Amino acid sequence: MKKPLLVFIGLRYLRARSANQYVSFVAFASVLGVMLGVAALIVVLSVMNGFENELRDRLLSMSSHASISSREGIANNAELAAELTAQPGVEAVAPFIELEAMLSTGRELGGAILTGIDPAAERVLTSVSEHIISGSYDSLQSGSANVLLGIGLARQLDVLTGDKITLLVPQRRAPAEAGGNGSFSSVIRSFTVTGIFEMGLQDHDSVRALIHLDDAADLAGMSGRVGGLRIRVSDIFAAPSIMQSWQTDSVLAENLKVSDWTIENASYFRAVRIEKIMMALLLSLIIGVAAFNIVASLVMVVTEKRGGIAILRTLGCSRRTIIGIFVFQGTVIGWLGCLCGIALGVYLSLNVATLAPALESLFGFQFMPGDVYYLTSLPADLHWTDVLGTSITVLVITMLATLYPASRAASVEPSEVLRYE
């Protein structure tokens, strides 16, 4: 099978030994630079994907995929829960009451988000019961005045399982039209710490406290009502569309506030997304530097092969063919580095979990110490769309890098070069 002329000559120029060894070195450095840039970009994007997944899992370990709530409380919560459970895509529904409270031990004082839950329904909805490190999740019984604390909050209050704490919860009195004055009063109750949980996320561990739903209703003065319903769906990415469809189809009353995990945790995922984009841009500079090496190597090849280019022109090669020869040569250099980088990047991404501990033991340090970071390992989630995007980016950059040397080669005038040959 006959090769096109530009492919044949381009490959000959790549395989030919240069009289100037520096040209070969720059070409090799170009391949190496592209390879390292592509590998680093794939690994970093995979690790950032892993961080995003880990963050999402930890955020949702104690919160629901979606929720509906009302300031006045929901009276017919059992009927509404049954109606929502029957909706397509819904796996579980659980009532809750969320309060702001001050916790005191007499020596220490701290603020907390106090959540009243139904332990049986909550076990299906979240994974709190699986993260109890001291005490018992089943100790939350109606009227028991027991409380579960996050490990950070327990350390702040300096309490252990079995200790007594005092809860101070603000409670709004009836409005003027109902015979009250609408002011706030404080409800004070004594609770026993019967469990400590560790979710692995500071926002949960340092401010969250759990009590039984009936105890929370008593503290909030919401007898027979709940603050809202938390919902678990089969596909977490479908939660926003499900909530929107319920509002559109009037499944929910107008006075109910609807939220989902993308709204409640928008700032976290926005920060991760911005960080991922910035890391990709910074690492793309490595590929940019390698592209300049491709430019330099091709310019030196053009300078060295001026005589050959002039002969090709006299034999009838057009300017377009000369441009194609050097564009093909630079593209081959770029894609050789790209393919090597993809192989290295995919291998590293798939083996981060084993390679990172090996490097830690080899050099005697931790990448992410447990006393500083909540994540003590590097999670990685390889997306082939990232690999494809990286490959296309490298193809475009390397092809653009060949345009100047190729146009310079096409501008060689045979009469000027061969006059002195």
Give pLDDT, residue 15: 55
Give pLDDT, residue 267: 80
Give pLDDT, residue 176: 46
pLDDT in tens, 367-405: 665 555 555 567 788 888 888 888 888 888 888 888 877
Give the count of beta carbons closer than 10 Å to the beta carbon of residue 379.
18
Q: What are phi and psi of 303, to 5 degrees?
A: -65, -40
CA distance 381 to 52: 9
DSSP state of 96: E
- Torsion of Cα atoms, 398 then 404 then 409 then 413, to 10°: 170
Mean of the per-residue pLDDT values of the chain: 78
Q: What is the mean pLDDT of residues 343-364?
A: 80
Of 172-176, 195-199, 202-206, 259-263, give the range with the top mean pLDDT.
195-199
Confidence of residue 1 (pLDDT cuts 50, 70, 90): very low
Q: Could you state, in order of their start, the residue ranges of all structural domains in the chain?
A: 5-57+268-418, 90-233
305-313: list long-range contacts, CB under 8 Å, 24+ apart. 305/13, 305/409, 306/412, 306/417, 307/417, 307/418, 307/421, 309/409, 309/412, 309/417, 310/412, 310/413, 310/414, 310/417, 310/418, 310/421, 311/414, 311/418, 312/9, 313/412, 313/414
Confidence of residue 304 (pLDDT cuts 50, 70, 90): low
Question: Which range, of 5-19, 43-57, 294-308, 369-383, averages the lowest pLDDT?
Answer: 5-19
Cβ pair 123, 91 in contact under 8 A? no
Q: In this predicted model, which residue has the larger pLDDT, 300 or 397?
A: 397
pLDDT exceeds 50 at position 6: yes
pLDDT exceeds 60 at position 8: no
Confidence of residue 266 (pLDDT cuts 50, 70, 90): confident
pLDDT in tens, 274-285: 888 888 888 778
Confidence of residue 132 (pLDDT cuts 50, 70, 90): confident
Cβ pair 256, 77 in contact under 8 A? no
Q: In this predicted model, which residue has the larger pLDDT, 211 or 367?
A: 211
C-alpha to C-alpha distances, 268 to 115, 179, 240, 271, nearest whole angstrom = 22, 44, 17, 5
Give pLDDT, residue 2: 46
Question: What are the structure tokens assigned to 68, written together?
Answer: 């509906």
Question: What are the structure tokens assigned to 225, written together?
Answer: 């009502």
* Percent of the residues in the chain that have a pLDDT greater than 90, as a whole number: 0
pLDDT exceeds 80 at position 183: no
Give pLDDT, residue 9: 61
324, containing H or E segment: helix 319-350
Cβ pair 69, 378 in contact under 8 A? no
- Torsion of Cα atoms, 393 then 394 then 399 then 400, to 10°: 60
pLDDT in tens, 77-110: 788 888 888 888 888 888 888 888 888 887 888 8
Confidence of residue 415 (pLDDT cuts 50, 70, 90): low
